Amino acid sequence: MSDEIKNPEIQPNLILDDEKAMLLNHNYDGIQELDNPLPKWWQIIFYGTIVFTVLYIGYYEFGGGPSLRQEMESDLARIEAMRPKNAGGDLLAAVQSALGDAAVIAEGQASYAGKCASCHADQGQGLIGPNLTDYHWIHGDGSAGEIYKVVADGVADKGMPPWGAVIPADEMKSLLVYLLSLRGQMRAGKPPEGVEHKPN
Ligand code: HEC
């Protein structure tokens, strides 16, 4: 026992073969040290986090990177820009100038098929919601502005969802052009509801 302490030689039987290369050249009372580095992948991740921190702080604190508030505000501005402005403004002018345009009608029809047909039926002839192909309207007079109002705001207590915040302006335009093209087609379906408003 005491012999081992006085003569702290490397004890070959305690060292694995693949550790021999790692053995450092010192020996404290029989305690030897291996130079056993962390795995490469671990080091890459570790030093990577340090590099990331420097870049991150540099960009967001000193390099003029946007704050969370600025990011939120620019996101909100983008969403706001996608919304139809209002029933009286740009949207209705765009609808007016696209009336009867077959490509726009086709776009509107695709949007209608995805969002409206479940309640107003595939041809607009009415199912849960009223027939949209007659001249009778429960809400408004069937003008583009009045149709937009009911589509955008919905009819909460009758089950018509509000679409104003859901449908981007461009899609809303083609949807309205499509709805106006349905008006007066008189497709057989739900009987007319509301008040008749025939355009002069
Ligand atoms: C969940 C069912 C449902 C969906 C989906 C739906 N609607 Fe309606 N819609 C209704 C109901 C119900 C009414 C009738 C409201 C009332 O009686 O006041 C209605 C009314 C309307 C009216 C007014 C009709 C009138 O006579 O005044 C329009 C226009 C209309 N919907 C268009 C749309 C469009 C466009 C879409 C798709 C973007 C759509 N709806 C999707 C159920 C729905």
pLDDT higher for 4 or 144? Answer: 144
Counting residues of the chain whose pLDDT is more than 70, the rounded percentage is: 88
Task: Output the six-digit token pair for 69.
Answer: 């508030």
Cα-to-centroid distance, 90 and ligand 1 (Å): 23
CATH class of the domain at 84-196: mainly alpha
Closest Cα to atom 2 of ligand 1: 119
- pLDDT greater than 90 at residue 30: no
Ligand 1 in reach of 160 Cβ (< 6 A): yes
pLDDT score, position 83: 65
Q: Which amino acid is it at 146? A: E
Non-local (6+) Cβ contacts of 38 within 8 A are 46
pLDDT score, position 12: 56
CB of 193 closer than 8 Å to CB of 138 = yes
Mean pLDDT across the stretch 150-160? 94
Ligand 1 in reach of 138 Cβ (< 6 A): yes
Cα-to-centroid distance, 95 and ligand 1 (Å): 19
Write the pLDDT tens digit of every residue in 165-198: 889 989 999 999 999 999 999 999 999 999 999 8
pLDDT score, position 4: 46
pLDDT score, position 27: 83
**Nearest of 51, 24, 26, 54 to residue 36 by alpha carbon:** 24
If one residue of 120, 123, 138, 197 were mutated to test the ligand 1 pocket, choosing by the most ligand atoms within 8 A of its CB, it would be: 120
Ligand 1 in reach of 147 Cβ (< 6 A): yes
Across the chain, mean pLDDT equals 88
**Nearest of 83, 84, 102, 82 to residue 94 by alpha carbon:** 84
pLDDT score, position 16: 74
CB atoms within 10 A of CB 129: 20
Cα-to-centroid distance, 129 and ligand 1 (Å): 5
What are the extents of the domains in the chain? 2-34, 84-196
**Assessment of whether the complete model's pTM goes beyond 0.85:** no
Cα-to-centroid distance, 55 and ligand 1 (Å): 52
Write the pLDDT tens digit of every residue in 47-101: 999 999 999 999 999 999 999 999 999 999 888 777 655 555 788 889 999 999 9
pLDDT score, position 85: 53
pLDDT-derived band at 32 (thresholds 50, 70, 90) equals confident
pLDDT score, position 2: 43
Mean pLDDT across the stretch 7-11? 56
pLDDT higher for 113 or 23? Answer: 113
pLDDT score, position 104: 97
